[in-house]
Amino acid sequence: MAKWEAPSFAVLSAIYAAGILSHILLDLVTSFGTMIWSPLQWSRPAWDLIFIVDFTLTAIFLVPQLLAWVYAHPERVKRRAVGMWLVFMPAPFLIARLGAIVGAPISDRVVLSAVVIFAALFLLPARFGWGVKIPHDTWNRAGLAASVIYVVCTVYAHHVAFSRIQKFAEVDHLQAESIGALPLPPSLWHWDGLVRTARGVYELRMDLAEQAVNDGELLALEHHYYPDAPPNSYIEIAKHMPEVQKVLWFSRFPVTRFHKEGDVAVVEISDIRFVQTRRDRPPSFTYRVRFGIDGNVLSQGWATR
């Protein structure tokens, strides 16, 4: 049995550097971003190319590695291939369900296409016997090439989506403080256009599969407006609190809400990037501050109900 020689220090350093840099890059291309410049600069750049958890890109990375495993031993190919297909078959339906929850429905045609693609990838090479002839590294190189192509496609899709939300802001004469086009699952077609103004946030859900629209049709598209609550002393106090300052720093499209529960005044700050998935719960990353009748803070923290 041949003895495996450990790579040199330079090669190991290069491997570790590639792993660390790829991790940072994959965070940077999401709509969540990463603090790439810290501690030199406390900012969170985000390129908004893929969803925080992009199922398509994950599958592109994962499936070739699983295919290499499936065809590693010829005598186990059929059992492994069928097993992997059975594992992946429900995934498109579950992802479609998640898309419906976040307001980015996926058509039945796309779901069916994904099921057929998984069946072809896992079953056809096993059925005709050519899967075992493909080396391990070929599967992985194909996955890497496909992932690069996919990211390039998201760059173009983001350009189209960002142009549309910019046009929407111009046509509606919005004084934008910040503007963004954020991907939604499956992220290549569905995008969330957001415009932050001095008084609230405008949201325009976009399906890039639809043809480009002119100015009148653009305004007629269904969009939502989330107004900020009128200023008051409670909101002013809350926004100067250290923890709320951190929330406002993190939030790219914050909306401030205010209501009273008897004698208790409640200030809530939500980031419109994160949707409300359940009616009995506030949107994710909603920070709540509760004041007593004397103006003292009764409680503060992330709202869970």
Where helices occur in the chain by DSSP H, the ranges are 9-28, 55-70, 77-88, 91-101, 108-128, 136-171, 215-220, 233-239, 242-250
pLDDT at 165 over 90: yes
**Residue 187 to residue 49: CA distance in whole angstroms:** 8
pLDDT at 107 over 60: yes
**Residue 42 to residue 182: CA distance in whole angstroms:** 22
H helices, E strands: number in the chain: 9, 8
pLDDT at 185 over 90: no
Q: What is the pLDDT of residue 227?
A: 95
Instruction: Single out the residue of 169, 147, 151, 188 nearest to residue 65, CA to CA.
Output: 147
Q: What is the dihedral of CA 252, 257, 263, 264, to 10 degrees?
A: -20
Cβ neighbours of residue 45 under 8 Å, at least 6 residues apart? 28, 33, 34, 36, 37
Q: What's the pTM?
A: 0.83
Q: What is the pLDDT of residue 76?
A: 83
Q: What is the pLDDT of residue 289?
A: 96
Q: What is the pLDDT of residue 40?
A: 86
Return the top range by mean pLDDT from 71-80, 85-94, 219-228. 85-94
Work out the mean pLDDT of the chain and round it to a whole number: 86
Exposure letters 94-118 (e unless 16+ CB within 10 A, then b): ebbebbeebebebeeebbeebbeeb
pLDDT at 56 over 90: no
Q: What is the pLDDT of residue 55?
A: 85
Q: What is the pLDDT of residue 156?
A: 95
Q: What is the pLDDT of residue 16?
A: 92
Note the Cα 106 to chain centre separation in Å. 15
Q: What is the pLDDT of residue 216?
A: 52
The mean pLDDT of 269-285, rounded to a whole number, is 78
pLDDT at 218 over 70: no
Domain definitions of the chain by residue range = 9-47, 51-227, 233-302
**How sure is the predictor about 290, in pLDDT bands with cuts at 50, 70 and 90?**
very high
